[in-house]
Structure 1
Amino acid sequence: MTPAAPEKTQYETKDSGERAEYASGMQPEPDEDHAAAVVFNLLAAETTAYRIALKTKSTEQVS
């Protein structure tokens, strides 16, 4: 089992995704699929949040 990601990763992922989407809107490139990038960033953020919740839940059960 892979250890859960630290909390700051969740925020770094969201921040980097927001910066990338903002920058891409400033200079649109027709060969990039921005919808796919948005979906990827959302899935990464939700996966990280889920892993943090699992880690928190398992920590609470031990205490």
Structure 2
Amino acid sequence: MSIPVAPIGRIIKEAGAERVSEDAKKELNAYVVAQAETIAKEAIKYAAMAKRKTVKADDIELAIKNL
């Protein structure tokens, strides 16, 4: 799974960078995807504990707080 690299580049530029290398975009992309997967897995556990198949925003928020 991956997030398109262009939006990652825009995020870095919006943070103040004048120019961004492709390697920098790819590195941040890999980190963001890994963190998102970790959060998603934790949120799925909270949804399951609540006997739901649907992951809700509250599950995501709880997962972020508890990681």
TM bin (shorter chain)? 0.3 to 0.5
- Normalized against structure 1, the TM-score is what? 0.47
More helix by share: 1
- Normalized against structure 2, the TM-score is what? 0.45
- Which structure has more RCO (C-alpha within 8 Å, separation ≥ 6)? 1
